[in-house]
Each structure stands twice: as structure tokens, then as C-alpha cells.
Amino acid sequence: MTTARQTWAVTRYEFRMQIRKRSLWITTAVLAVVLTLTQGDRGPRHLPLGTPPREVMAGWALLMSILLPIGFGMVLADRLTRDRRLGLASLLESLPTGRGALVAGKYLGGLASTAVPAALVLLTAAAAETAHRHDPALFAWAVVAFALITLPGLAFVTAFALVCPLLTTAPLFRVLFVGYWFWGNMLNPDLFPSLTGTLLTPLGDYPATWLMGERALYAGADGWLEFLRPQPGGTTTVLAIALLLLLSLPPLALAPPLLRRRNLSA
């Protein structure tokens, strides 16, 4: 079996297992409802009639990116560590699937399983907005907003949620991840050194700013680490997406030797 087929087999297995987890759907539903009800007067639900559909759906994608990735990170945090806890590590080692294919498959399967509920949330928002605004183009812009704002952040979060617990523990990672999320995505960078609003922010500030035509959250704002906040635009949007995807690669490259070390020390 080729490496590509091994990876595909693990991807399908991981996706099927994750997509059936009630915790994934319950977490998504609860966080989506909370964000919808607490979005305030500046939220996308309160944009005036006649607002371009790209701005409406970019607003929804950005809103959901505030908390949904936290839930997804919690769900994925034990995907590599639980194999040893359940006694499956030796079984997986005996299979012809290499560690690289195993990690890649778990990553792609985990990413796909979180992308599905995230996409459904945006499509649901598009359906509600279409009923209100009578503009079917909202569905097309929901897909665009998902691809540009939501998906790159999910790729970043999935990689770190899979691999970082190998260095710590799943419970400790969850605590640290929540702290990182609010420090690196929500904290006003003018008050304290933070990655908020930079090209490295998985929240999707730069793509959202480009789609909405106005600054979203802290993209390009003044403050600490200002050199990482260039003026938002099409070029910086592409750069922000590319950087998130590139930053997803080092954890995945680090995972196979970490798995090998854990197996040898067991």
C-alpha cells in the first residue's frame, strides 16, 4: 500500500470517528448559539438591509471564529495521546502504516471533521440571512468566507491541538490553549504585548477586513509588535493565510519522532 493510500485510509477512519462524536456537535451548537445571542448591536445580524452579502457573511465567519476554534481544539486535544491510553499504540505500530501517514491522516481527518460543523454553521447563518435579506448570493459568500476566514485558522488549530499534547498532556494543553487564544487573538495589543491582529492570528482578522472593506477587530492596529500588523489588503490577506498554513507544518513534522520517543519510553 502506498503512503498516499495509507494516509487516505487513516483520514477516512479518523473523520468517521470524529464526525460521530456527540461532543463535537454539542460544543459547536452551544458556542454558535451563545455567539449569535450575544453578538451585540455591531454583530452581522444587525447590519442594515442592503449591506453587500460579502460583508454580511464575512461578519458571520469572523464572529464564529471567536469561540468555535476553542471548542474544536478541546475535542481534538487527545487524538494522538489517547491511543496509548487505550492500549492501541502497539497495535498501530504493527500495521504497515508509517508514523508519517498516521499523523497526516489524523490531521486531515480531524481538520475535515471540524470543518463540516463550522461550514454548516455558516450555511445556517446564510439561510437565516437569506430569509431576511432575500439575497441568495449569501450562500456563495458563505463558502468564500469559510474558505478565507475559517479554514486557515482551523488548519492551524488542528495541527497544534494534535501535537502539543504529546509535549504536555491533553488537560494541560486545553488550559494553555484557552489562555493563548484570548491572549493571541482578543487582547488589545495597545495594552499588552500580544499577537492579536497580526498576520499570525488564526482568528481571520485580515481576510475578514479584506471582505468587509473595513478593519475587523485589531487587524493592522497600532500597538506592541506593530511590525507584524501591516496595512490590511489583498496581499496581506494572502500572506496571512499562507503563514497560517505554513505554521501548521512544523508540528506535523515533529509528531512522528515524538510518537517514536513515547513508544520507546513506554
Residue 87's domain comprises 3-187+248-264
Q: Letter for the amino acid at 230?
A: P
The predicted pLDDT at position 69 comes to: 95
The answer as to whether 210 is a domain residue is no
CA distance 182 to 173: 14
Residue 259 burial class via C-beta count within 10 angstroms: exposed 0-12, middle 13-18, buried 19 and up: buried
The answer as to whether 215 is a domain residue is no
The answer as to whether 50 is a domain residue is yes
Q: pTM for this one?
A: 0.90
The answer as to whether 229 is a domain residue is no
The answer as to whether 179 is a domain residue is yes
Nearest partner of 121 among 16, 241, 30, judged by Cα: 30
CA distance 250 to 20: 29
The answer as to whether 223 is a domain residue is no
Is the Cβ–Cβ distance between 63 and 46 less than 8 Å? no
The predicted pLDDT at position 85 comes to: 60
The answer as to whether 131 is a domain residue is yes
The predicted pLDDT at position 200 comes to: 92
The predicted pLDDT at position 260 comes to: 67
The answer as to whether 233 is a domain residue is no
The predicted pLDDT at position 79 comes to: 78
CA distance 162 to 171: 13
Going residue by residue through the chain, which has 266 residues, state the pLDDT in tens, using 9 for 90 and above.
577 888 888 889 889 989 999 999 999 999 999 999 998 888 899 899 989 999 999 999 999 999 999 999 999 998 777 766 655 555 555 555 567 788 888 899 999 999 999 999 999 999 999 999 999 999 999 999 999 999 999 999 999 998 888 888 889 999 999 999 999 999 999 888 999 999 999 999 999 999 998 888 899 888 888 899 999 999 999 999 999 999 998 888 877 777 666 554 44
CA-based angle 97:103:107, to the nearest 5? 130
The predicted pLDDT at position 264 comes to: 46
Number of domains in the chain: 1
Nearest partner of 52 among 170, 178, 210, judged by Cα: 210
Give how far Cα 31 sits from Cα of 35, 61, 70, 224, Å: 6, 13, 9, 30
